[in-house]
């Protein structure tokens, strides 16, 4: 079985949607291995978003991710990396399919693609790296 790192981003925590996100994960049959609410640091986000460093949206993304607490979770299950990204929907909430977290709950009032509620690792390599960053004791 696989593990993935899920984040409920600061917009989701602020909008009291952490429980809704965890509910959808559990309803799908995945198992919560670790869950923690905490505010990220620049260092942690530099590691987490290393692949995006230098892109035009990098700085605003990091500022947004520092704007409040994040719910970080390690989620386990068969093909959960793909499975959670399917639950989350595509990056842009405006066009994310209905039935997905971003499609049902995402907002795009303003130009804030980064406020898309959740993060999910995109490969086994990213999952291992991100779980190591957020949960070094796991
Ligand atoms: P994550 O699960 O959060 O990694 O989303 P993703 O895999 O669908 O997107 P990606 O890894 O390409 O980008 C990471 C995050 O950067 C996205 O979730 C958005 O929050 C933000 N982002 C990506 N592309 C853009 C963009 O073009 N503009 C802005 N403002 N933010 C972006
Ligand atoms: Mg990504």
pLDDT digits (tens, 9 = 90+) for 34-87: 999 999 999 999 999 999 999 999 999 999 999 999 999 999 999 999 999 999
Could you list which residues have their CB under 5 Å from ion ligand 2?
122
The H or E element spanning position 34 is: strand 31-38
Quote the number of domains for the chain: 1
Which ligand number lies closest to the CA of residue 6?
Answer: 1
Give alpha helix (H) positions in the chain. Answer: 10-14, 18-27, 42-48, 58-65, 80-88, 101-105, 124-134
pTM of the model: 0.94
Per the residue annotation, which of 48, 52, 78, 119 is the catalytic one? 119
78 is catalytic: no
Query: Which residue owns the Cα nearest ligand 1 atom 32?
Result: 114
In 56-82, which positions are buried (b, 16+ CB within 10 angstroms) versus exposed (e)? eebeebbebbebebbbbbbbebeebbe
The whole domain housing 47 covers 2-134
- Tell me the CATH number at 110: 3.30.70.141
């Amino acid at each position: 079985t696989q593990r993935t790192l899920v984040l409920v981003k600061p917009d989701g925590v602020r909008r009291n949607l952490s429980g809704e996100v965890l509910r959808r994960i559990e309803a799908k049959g995945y198992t919560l291995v670790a869950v923690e609410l905490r505010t990220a640091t620049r260092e942690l986000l530099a590691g987490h978003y290393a692949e995006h460093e230098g892109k035009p949206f990098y700085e605003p993304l990091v500022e947004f991710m520092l704007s409040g607490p994040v719910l970080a979770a390690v989620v386990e299950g068969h093909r959960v990396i793909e499975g959670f990204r399917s639950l989350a929907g595509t990056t842009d909430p405006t066009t994310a399919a209905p039935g997905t977290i971003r499609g049902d709950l995402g907002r795009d009032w303003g130009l804030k693609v980064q406020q898309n509620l959740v993060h999910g690792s995109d490969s086994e390599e990213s999952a291992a790296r991100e779980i190591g960053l957020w949960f070094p004791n796991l």
